[in-house]
Amino acid sequence: MKKIILAICLLVFSYVLSAQKIELLASGTKTSLRGLSAVTDKIIWASGSKGTVARSIDSGKTWKWIVVKGFETRDFRDIEAFDAATCIGCGACVAACKNASAMLFVSAKVSQFALLPQGQPERYNRVQAMVAQMDAEGFGNCTNTGACEAECPKEISLTNIGRMNNDYLSAKLFREEHVHES
pLDDT of the residue at 182: 47
Does any domain span residue 18?
Answer: no
Does any domain span residue 16?
Answer: no
Q: How many domains does the chain have?
A: 2
Distance CA 165, CA 161 (A): 6
pLDDT of the residue at 37: 79
Distance CA 25, CA 132 (A): 48
Q: Are residues 135 and 76 in the same domain?
A: no
pLDDT of the residue at 11: 66
pLDDT of the residue at 132: 94
Q: Are residues 96 and 173 in the same domain?
A: yes
Does any domain span residue 3?
Answer: no
Does any domain span residue 103?
Answer: yes
Q: Which domain holds residue 61?
A: 25-81
The full DSSP string for 123-135 is HHHHHHHHHHHHH
pLDDT tens series, the chain, 182 aa: 777 776 676 666 666 555 556 666 666 677 778 788 777 777 788 888 888 888 888 888 888 888 877 888 888 877 766 567 778 888 999 999 999 999 999 999 998 888 776 788 889 999 999 999 999 999 988 988 999 999 999 888 898 999 899 999 999 998 655 555 54
